[in-house]
Chains A and B, each alone.
Chain A
Amino acid sequence: MIELIAQAAPEFNPFWGTEPSPEAIWKIFAAIAVGIVFMFLLMRVPTRSRRSIVMTFTFLSGAFYVVYYLWPEPINRGPNDAPSGFVDAGGFFLQDALPKVADIANVLTYLLLCLGIYSLTRIHLGRVVKKQKDWSFSVVLLIAMVAMIAVGYWDYILKEFNDPDKLLTKAENWGGVNYAYDMLFDGLIQQMDAAMFSMIAFFILSAAYRAFRIRSIEATVMMASAILLMVSLMGAVDYQWSEIIKGWTNDQPGNFLNNFNLSEVAGWVKNNLQIPSIRALEFGVGLGALAMGLRIWLGLERGGVSV
């Protein structure tokens, strides 16, 4: 137990990490300031060196994971182990750095999020201002958005800061805002999600009726295996069929005919035809991703998404 508590205490590098305290805030501001200065320096760089700058950023970020992969992983690491030798030390460093590095990509992604919302708002505000077709619906959109933001953050502040004893986790202690939030989120967003999702069932039905025609061998085999699978999913049919087979084999479990139970046949198709064919496809996709990854990482592409 002692050992566990010791582990629970965080380890950190005293340079990057700081004790939570007022002066920590200054360090943070310093970091932001440095970043902004850096940004303005970048604005000055000549056009020809831009590509190499972007490529450097990409390369360095990719390099971490590649090194992490190639570097021997320290095994059996105890909570208070000191590294034994250089290789081990490197392994320790990479292991500790990994979670932090993993955050960076996400933080950046989310920092970009407002850009998307900006585009959405722009388009719909434009519609309202220009009184374009359907502008009234754009008003609905904007109102809904503002309402959700207001209620959402209000509810969040109530729950996060004004509720030390976590009373609001139970509905009976709720106030109006919490109800409003629950109504908007659970009552509307969630249900609309489910509604849109469930609509696919209808589309499948019509697509099947329209498109699943015996036109070519391909279409036919696809249809056949689809129907076989669907029938095997109908437990009752499957069971009745197996009962019939039991009749033929007079319930001899060893009998060869038992392999013709629907679930057996469907399972066989899955295991010996679906899995290998799809697996081959996935190999290709995996290799494609690997190749594309390498091209991006090493900046081998030009045009399209790369500068």
Chain B
Amino acid sequence: MNETFFWWKLTIGVIATIGLYSVLYRETKLYRFFEHLFLGLAAGFTLVALWKETLKPLWWDKMTGSATIDPITNVSTMDAPGYWVYGFLLPIGLMGYLVFTKRHNWMSRIPIGVILGFWSGQQVQIWWNRWGAQIYSSMQPVWPTTTDSFTRPYSADLPAPEQAYIAAQLYPSQAISNLIFVITILAALSYFFFSFDMKGRLLKGSNTLGRWLLMIGFGAIFGSTVMARFVLEIDRMSYIFVEWMDQTGKMFGGG
């Protein structure tokens, strides 16, 4: 049973994959079929997960609490208290459903207002956690602490104190890189000034420079993202040509 089932599962997966890939050729009836199948299944799964994964653990269980009854002594111990006030959330949430009514549609803004309110409050709270360390790490020293050599010498074969000393130093090459770092961040920052006109050579220049530097950044992102995308395609190929074929071999090749 299991092997056969597994093969069917793989096979159907392969067919579905090809069905969706068909849109690469043209938007055909085949694609349309699998698209709607996908949408339907996804919607169905959403409704399953709605209770199973979210409302039950997040809302129902916490509202009712939980207790275990000891089979021997038959004494019930509370594991988690029930927070009955969670019940109040149901009507609040249901107000959203008034959006389709003519007269009370404004009330749908109440749950939305609450959700947006929480999000907004958090912004104040997380700003520093996210940016503080990054502001600090942008304050890079740009003055070399030593001029013994231009770049950091290779210290693998030196005694420990020497290594420690070299590790602690800031060599000119690094200092220059740091300077470039600081200039880049300032230039890029200047590109995002909206409320006043960028007049004067310096501001205009840094604005343009900022845009170019941003493009370099985007290029780099593009480069490393491309890897991820291709790997997924490769993984699909391996799904079809390696896994499915292996399983098919096992099924029919007497394996």
Question: A35-B92, A61-B118, A105-B114 are contacts. A144–B211 as well, Cβ < 8 Å?
Answer: no
Q: Contact: A156 with B93, CB < 8 Å? A: no
0/1 per residue, A178-202, Cβ < 8 Å to B? 0100111111111110111111111
Is A24 in contact with chain B by the CB < 8 A criterion? yes
Is B145 in contact with chain A by the CB < 8 A criterion? no
Is A158 in contact with chain B by the CB < 8 A criterion? no
Q: Which residues in A have their C-beta under 8 angstroms from that of B94?
A: 39, 111
Please tell me which one of the listed residues A43, A152, A221 contacts residue B107 in the complex, with CB atoms under 8 A apart: A43
Q: Contact: B121 with A62, CB < 8 Å? A: yes
Q: Which residues in B have their C-beta under 8 angstroms from that of A32?
A: 87-88, 90-91
Please tell me which one of the listed residues A39, A121, A222 contacts residue B219 in the complex, with CB atoms under 8 A apart: A222
Is A110 in contact with chain B by the CB < 8 A criterion? yes
Question: A100-B83, A254-B154 are contacts. A296–B116 as well, Cβ < 8 Å?
Answer: yes
Q: Contact: B16 with A195, CB < 8 Å? A: yes
Binds B, one of A15-23, A81-89, A240-248: A15-23
Is B164 in contact with chain A by the CB < 8 A criterion? no
CA distance A55 to B92 in the complex (A): 15
Is A276 in contact with chain B by the CB < 8 A criterion? yes
CA distance A105 to B58 in the complex (A): 11
Question: A58-B114, A191-B16, A192-B20 are contacts. A141–B36 as well, Cβ < 8 Å?
Answer: yes
Is A79 in contact with chain B by the CB < 8 A criterion? no
CA distance A194 to B211 in the complex (A): 35
Q: Which residues in A have their C-beta under 8 angstroms from that of B87?
A: 27-32, 35
Q: Contact: A192 with B32, CB < 8 Å? A: no
CA distance A136 to B88 in the complex (A): 42
Count of residues in A whose CB is under 8 Å from the partner chain: 144
Q: Contact: A296 with B117, CB < 8 Å? A: yes
Q: Contact: A286 with B80, CB < 8 Å? A: no
Question: A272-B180, A274-B220, A293-B119 are contacts. A201–B9 as well, Cβ < 8 Å?
Answer: no
Q: Which residues in B have their C-beta under 8 angstroms from that of A283?
A: 131, 134, 189
Q: Which residue of A lies closest to B122 (CB)?
A: A65
CA distance A53 to B95 in the complex (A): 13
Is B204 in contact with chain A by the CB < 8 A criterion? no
Is B221 in contact with chain A by the CB < 8 A criterion? yes
Is A167 in contact with chain B by the CB < 8 A criterion? no
Q: Which residues in B have their C-beta under 8 angstroms from that of A110?
A: 50, 54-55, 58-59
CA distance A229 to B219 in the complex (A): 8
Q: Contact: B117 with A61, CB < 8 Å? A: yes
Q: Contact: A153 with B120, CB < 8 Å? A: no
Which A residues form the contact surface with B (CB < 8 A)? Answer: 10, 12, 16-20, 24-25, 27-32, 34-36, 38-39, 42-43, 50, 53-55, 57-66, 68-69, 100-101, 103-117, 120-121, 134, 137-138, 140-149, 152-153, 156, 171-172, 179, 182-192, 194-202, 204, 217-219, 221-230, 232-233, 252-254, 256, 259, 266, 268-284, 286, 289-290, 292-294, 296-297, 307
Which B residues form the contact surface with A (CB < 8 A)? Answer: 2, 5, 8-10, 12-14, 16-17, 20-21, 23-24, 32-48, 50, 52, 54-55, 58-59, 62-67, 78-97, 99, 103-104, 106-107, 109-111, 113-125, 127, 130-131, 134, 138, 150-151, 153-154, 156, 173, 177-178, 180-182, 184-189, 191-192, 210-224, 226-227, 229-230, 232-233, 235-236, 239
25 residue pairs of the A-B complex, CB under 8 angstroms, read A20-B66, A32-B88, A43-B103, A58-B114, A61-B114, A61-B121, A65-B121, A65-B125, A108-B89, A108-B115, A111-B96, A115-B97, A144-B39, A198-B233, A202-B24, A228-B219, A228-B223, A254-B154, A256-B150, A269-B216, A274-B220, A276-B181, A278-B214, A279-B188, A294-B124
